[in-house]
Amino acid sequence: MRRKQIVQPSDPAAVATVVMRLYVAGGAPNSVQAIANLEAICQQHLKGNYQLEIVDVFEQPLRALADGVIVTPSLTKLSPLPAAQVVGNLSDQSKVLLALGLQGKTP
Amino acid sequence: MTTTRPVSKAESAHPEAEVAFAAFIRRLAHDAATLRAIKSGKVDAILDPASGRAILLPEAREALRRGAAPANQILATLPREEYQRLLAAGLEPVTLALGEVLHEPGELIRQIYFPNESLLVSLVTRIQNHGALEIALVGSEGMVGLPVAQGIGTASVRAVAQGTGTALRMEAARFCEALGTCLALQRALHRYTHALIAQITQTAACNRFHQVEARLARWLLMASDRLQSNLIRFTHEWLADLLGVRRVGVTVAASALQQQRLIQYSRGNITILDREGLKASACECYQKIKDIFDCA
Ligand SMILES: [Zn+2]
């Protein structure tokens, strides 16, 4: 699988667009799962209000290293600050929501 | 249906190389958090700063060599060469979104789908002036587009994805062609057909005789089994549609189950808190359908 970038246009009227980068290892099972899990979370909790870049570490390993990524899949929230990271296939939704700063907003 | 999940161990003709590789991975993963992540089985690759390369972990390598380990239980029962024949014939991964329609009644089935454990598909029938009703739920235990396996090209129901998830799909014509030479798949699909008919039969009786609360409990358990998760993403509108009741009926039933601390729901999310308790609240149909699937 060669997925390069999925960029959702953000709503200019909204306050804080969540900017994320997901490092994946090609079409490896946990990576495929991480993409699906994250897309579901974004669709449900962020509506259109996010930017997600998916980076394949087999295509851009140096970029991952420069970003301090050790294992993939690895999700980094770049903004709003503070930055946060979640490693793994993102099956633990509450952990992802916490990292994205969305925990308190969903009862 | 019994599952024979492929053991995800790298097969190597050189055990020494394997040991050395494991040591190499351990050296790269020098901190506890990384080691934990690797042990969890939820990561695929590790970055090597020395070479500037990404290295696949053995499990992921093996999965990719197999063409990604099939999470679908029908595919998981197939001998490796049969599964690889299907991959070569065009079986490919696909991500589906909530509400995506896989086939409509009266229309040609263009693609067949083997859902992974992240995907639920409802088979839905429409009655004029009464809206839709779910007649069966298909997840990682099954296949969407089963008529194709019986030589029927046209769908009789609507198949619609319930949330974002992944599946392996194949063009119907190529699937038919490949099926002729895949004896294990033929047998697996015969068993699945039997189990699916049983599910539809039981669902028909259930929809007529059982109360909304018991039916909701049954549905949540069935969904949870297929997703292999206690978290089910759903809205009341969807559920009402599937169960063929008004939205308020679902709200009342869900509130009752929540008050008994069996489930917890918030917008779009239902978490099963007490599985055994939910089973006790579900109608007999849950266990009947499950037993037939387990024996098939
Ligand atoms: Zn029932």
Output the domain CATH number for residue A62. Answer: 3.40.30.10
Q: Do B266 and A106 touch (CB under 8 A)?
A: yes
Is B54–A58 a contact, with Cβ atoms under 8 angstroms apart?
A: yes
Answer whether residue A105 is part of any domain.
no
Q: Is A66 within a domain? A: yes
Whether the CB-CB separation of A44 and B268 falls below 8 Å is answered with yes
Closest chain B residue to the Cα of A70, Cα to Cα: B47
Angle (nearest 5°) at CA A67 between A65 and A68? 65
Task: Report CB contact under 8 Å: B44, A87.
Answer: no
Range scoring the smallest mean pLDDT among A25-29, A65-69, A92-96, B278-282: A25-29
Residue B136's pLDDT is what?
94
* Chain A positions in Cβ-Cβ contact with residue B98 (cut-off 8 Å): 43
A38/A89 Cα distance (integer angstroms):
9
pLDDT value at position A28?
Answer: 83
Domain stop point among B174, B206, B238: B206
A43 CB near a chain B CB, below 8 Å? yes
**Which value, in Å, is the radius of gyration of the alpha carbons in chain B?**
21
Residue ending a domain, among B206, B236, B258, is B206
> Has residue B4 been placed in a domain?
no
Residue B162: per-residue pLDDT: 86
ipTM for this model: 0.79
Give the burial class of B128: count Cβ atoms within 10 A of its Cβ; 0-12 exposed, 13-18 middle, 19 or more buried. Answer: exposed
Q: Does residue A106 fall inside a structural domain?
A: no
Is this structure's pTM higher than 0.80? Answer: no
Q: Is A17 on the interface with B (CB under 8 A)?
A: no
Name which of B31, B44, B53, B232 to mutate to probe chain A: the one with the most chain A Cβ atoms within 10 A of its Cβ.
Answer: B44
The pLDDT, as a whole number, for residue A98 is 87
Q: Which two tokens mark B249?
A: 């009926």
Would you state the torsion angle of the CA atoms of residues B143, B148, B150, B153, taken in this order, to the nearest 10 degrees? 150
- Percent over 70 (pLDDT), chain B: 92
Number of domains, chain B: 3
Question: Which chain A positions have a beta carbon within 8 Å of B52's beta carbon?
Answer: 61-62, 65
| Residue range(s) defining the domain that contains residue A58 | 4-99
Most B CBs within 10 Å, among A57, A70, A92, to test the B interface: A70
Assigned domain for A30 exists: yes
Closest to B44 measured CA to CA, from A67, A25, A91? A25
Q: How many domains are contained in chain A?
A: 1
- For residue B147, the CA-to-ligand 1 centroid distance in Å is 26
Residue A86 is assigned to a structural domain of this protein:
yes
Residue B4, pLDDT score: 37
Among the candidates B206, B235, B258, a domain finishes at B206
pLDDT of residue B15: 61
Ramachandran assignment for A87, one of left (phi > 0), alpha (psi -120 to 50 degrees), beta (any other): beta
Higher local confidence (pLDDT), B97 or B139: B139
Mean pLDDT of chain B: 85
Q: Is there a single domain that holds both residue B86 and residue B198?
A: yes
pLDDT in tens, B121-131: 999 998 887 77
More confident residue, B102 or B24: B102
pLDDT score recorded for residue A15:
58
B81 pLDDT tier (thresholds 50, 70, 90): confident
Chain B residue closest to A23 (CA)?
B45
Is residue B164 domain-resident?
yes
Residue B187 sits in a domain whose CATH number is 2.60.120.10
Q: Where are the beta strands (DSSP E) in B36-103?
A: 45-48, 53-56, 92-96, 101-103
Phi, psi torsion values for B21, nearest 5 degrees: -65, -40
CB–CB contact A28 B98 (8 Å): no
Same domain, B168 and B260: no
- Per residue in B193-213, pLDDT (tens digit) is 999 999 999 999 998 899 999
Please give the pLDDT value at position A107.
Answer: 42
Do B73 and B33 belong together in one domain?
no
- Chain B positions in Cβ-Cβ contact with residue A84 (cut-off 8 Å): none
What is residue B120's three-state secondary structure? coil
- B187 and B96 within one domain: yes
**pLDDT class of B285 with cuts at 50, 70, 90:** very high
Is residue A107 assigned to a domain? no
Shared domain for B157 and B50, answered yes or no, is no
Q: Answer yes or no: is pLDDT of B94 > 70.
A: yes
Closest CA to B144 of B121, B127, B164: B121
Do B187 and B59 belong together in one domain? no
Q: Which candidate, B138, B133, B106, B143, places its Cα nearest to that of B121?
A: B138
Nearest to B47 among A24, A70, A107 (CB): A70
Question: For an interface test with B, which of A24, A39, A54, A72 has the most B Cβ atoms less than 10 Å from its Cβ?
Answer: A72
Residue A10 has pLDDT above 60, yes or no: no
Q: Say whether both B188 and B85 belong to one domain.
A: yes
B241 shares a domain with B146? no
Q: Which of A37, A57, A88 sits opposite B45 (nearest CB)?
A: A57
Chain B residues within an 8 Å CB radius of A44: 233, 268-269
- Exposed/middle/buried for residue B89 (C-beta within 10 Å: 0-12, 13-18, 19+): middle
Q: Where in the sequence is the domain holding B35, given as residue range(s)?
A: 9-66
Contact B52 A61 (CB under 8 A): yes
A45 lies in a domain?
Answer: yes
Find the B222 Cα to ligand 1 centroid distance in Å: 12
Please give the distance, rounded to the nearest whole angstrom, from the Cα atom of residue B229 to the centre of ligand 1: 22
B206-223 per-residue burial string, b: 16 or more CB within 10 A, e: under 16: bbeebebbbbbbbbbbbb
Chain B residues touching A28 at Cβ < 8 A = 44-45, 56, 60, 63-64, 68
Please name the member of B43, B63, B267 whose beta carbon is closest to the beta carbon of A71: B43
- Asked if the structure places residue A59 within a domain, the reply is yes
